[in-house]
Structure 1
Amino acid sequence: MATEINLQQLTSKIFVMPRERDEFFRESNTTEREKIFVLAFEGNITEEKYFSEFKNSNKFNDELICLHLLKRRSDDTNSAPNHVFDKLKREAKDEFNFKNGDELWMIIDTDRWKNIPKIIETCKGLENMFVAVSNPCFEFWLLLHIKDIQEYNKEELELLFKNKKIRNKNYVERKIIEIVGSYNKTNLKTDDFLPNIDAAVSRAKILDQAHEEYPAKLGSHIYKLIAKLRKVETE
């Protein structure tokens, strides 16, 4: 059951002056960029590590984009939908003077969030806010880096979709381990995945042939975000 929204928490920063755009860039040690992307994650470690390493890689388009990751304290384990959603709005939309083209993204999974249609409808009514849903979990996005799931049979795909946990690993995590040998949510080895990020984008696009607002079956819309952040290769 989702936790109740704390009204004091919602209003605690109303009187804080929004930070200016140039102040944000100075802290990021960057020159002026055309766009700011702010990301908020359901997870507390894995997603942050993935996007941090992507940001520091030669695949990230840092000539045009400044990427800011909303970080939770290590003791903040509350990943309830309204907590993450409120965090994105409060710490990004209320603290920064955004231009119209800047974007705020929520990175969420279907295996924990049961009110995704409502979240998407809310974001559609808020300027600059977007959602990238993975079904069933963020690890499925990672799996797309290293496996064309169309090679799996129907039974295997169904097991991926159900993503049941066996002891301390869910099914998608176990498939990752089969391919790369190990997987640790708290110590993500991004070198196993980031070199194949273009393959992940291509595979995710194929799974999104119906162009749904979020994947009702196996899929990940993180590819939509990556496509905006990815450096365009030149001949």
Structure 2
Amino acid sequence: MYNRYRLTSTVYDREDEAQKIIPEKRVFLSVEGNVTEKEYFDGLSKNRVKIGINAKVDVEVLRRGKKDTNSAPQQVIELLEEYVRLREQNEDDILQEVSEQFKEQFSMDFIKQFLETPDKLPKKQRNLFATELKKIGYDINYRKYLKKYNNERDEFAVLIDRNMQTHSESNMSECIKYCRDNGYKCYIANPCFEFWLLMHLADIEAEFGDQLDKIKENKKVSEQHTFVSREVSNRAHHGKSGINFARRYLPYMDKAVIQAKKFPDDEYELVDSIGCNLWRLIEELKNYGK
């Protein structure tokens, strides 16, 4: 069966909802990377009070399966729009779009009961149904988790790497225009998200003032690394335990914002110039409610 659904996650309840202030606004962010970006923004979310961000605003990275490597700019936007469509539905679209594929195995009455009162069904049947849905990429539990957040204050955004080796200038410009036309925020990292991380870890002007062309080209320097990712690795030592946001990045967020402001921040300018306009998101979050 064709997998038309991509919103999926094995872990998404980052905090106990009963133990925190429920945000009145969320920025839903679709990103290219499947690991590092999510860890960074999860760390930002968990530490937003320490960062100076009002607890009533939050950022939520949309998650996809571990094997989902669809990370071209258009595919990043597609993931965001899958979520936008989910929010616009009056009820879960499973009855309209999925039930035909399961009518031989599950009745309409069963599906309706699964959606309305799942606890009344045997656990074994519930698990079987959820497993069959996941085979086509339909993560019903994650979709329910996302569905409960639907505030008119919410914003939708994408984070795209420039990556001149794989993303053409025309492709980037088309995506930027599409985002603007549809009211989505568009954050660009040129050459890549790791450059934003490097701004936390190094004095860009002092250490790389004569190597900005190398940063822009960001060539492969080993099987594991490009020029920029190697510089990040040499300083942050990311490992199996993750990026260690609280130690490596949290104390240096202001430093990253200050350095990022020295580079262009307009999306179209960032197609040709190194930089990252994520500082605008950080400041927007910090200024919320003021």
Q: Which structure has the larger Rg over C-alpha atoms?
A: 2
Q: C-alpha distance in 1, partners of 2:152/2:25? A: 9
Corresponding residue to 1:66 among 55, 58, 65: 58
Q: Does 1:120 align with 2:176?
A: yes
Does residue 101 in structure 1 map to residue 153 in structure 2? yes
Query: Hey, what does 1:138 align to over in structure 2?
Result: 193
One-letter code aligned to 1:204: A
- C-alpha separation in 2, matches of 1:186 and 1:164: 26
Matched, 1:51 2:41: yes
Aligned twin of 1:80: 72
Distance in 2 between residues matched to 1:81 and 1:185, nearest whole Å: 27
Equivalent residue for 2:133?
none
CA shift digits 1:76-133 (9 cap, x unpaired):
1221222221110111453257555321111110114331111111111113x11111
Give the CA RMSD over aligned residues.
3.1
**TM superposition shift of 1:161:** 1.2
Spell out the pairing of 1:1-235 with structure 2 (5 A cutoff). 9=4, 28-29=17-18, 31-57=21-47, 58-59=50-51, 61-95=53-87, 98-111=150-163, 112-114=166-168, 115-127=171-183, 129-152=184-207, 155-167=210-222, 168-180=224-236, 182-184=237-239, 187-190=242-245, 191-208=247-264, 211-215=266-270, 216-230=272-286
| CA distance in 2 between partners of 1:226 and 1:107 (Å) | 13
Structure 1 residues 160 and 66, CA gap change in structure 2 (3 angstroms): closer
Q: Which SS does the other structure have where 1:223 is aligned?
A: helix
Instruction: Report % sequence identity.
Output: 28
Shift of 1:211: 4.2
- Say which SS state the counterpart of residue 262 (structure 2) adopts: helix
Q: How far apart, in 2, do the equivalents of 1:214 and 1:100 lie?
A: 30
Contact in 2 for aligned 1:38/1:104 (Cα 8 Å): yes
**Are the structure 2 counterparts of residues 63 and 177 from structure 1 closer, same or farther at C-alpha, using a change threshold of 3 Å?**
closer
- Shift of residue 186 of structure 1? 8.0
Q: What is residue 3 of structure 1 aligned with on the other side?
A: none
> Cα offset for 1:207?
1.1
> Segments of 4+ in structure 1 off by > 3 A?
27-34, 96-101, 152-155, 177-180, 183-186, 210-214
Task: Judging by fraction of residues, say which structure has more helix.
Answer: 2
Amino acid at match of 1:103: E
The 2-side partners of 1:138 and 1:202 are apart by 16
- Following superposition, the deviation at residue 47 of structure 1 comes to 0.1
Unaligned runs of 5+ in 1: 1-5, 14-26
Contact 2:29 2:80 in 1 (8 A): yes
Q: Give the AA of the match of 2:178.
A: T
The code of the aligned residue for 2:221 comes to: I
* TM-score where L is the length of structure 1: 0.77
Q: TM-score, normalised by structure 2?
A: 0.64
Aligned partners of 1:145 and 1:199 also within 8 Å: yes
Alignment deviations for residues 119-163 of structure 1 (CA, whole Å, 9 cap, x no partner) = 111111113x11111000000000001222111455411111111
Give 1:205 shift.
0.9
2-structure distance, mates of 1:202, 1:89: 32
* CA distance in 2: counterparts of 1:83 and 1:73, whole angstroms: 14
Q: Matched residue of 2:156: which SS?
A: strand
Q: Specify the code of the residue in structure 2 equivalent to 1:113.
A: H
CA distance in 1: counterparts of 2:261 and 2:40, whole angstroms: 20
Count residues in correspondence: 212
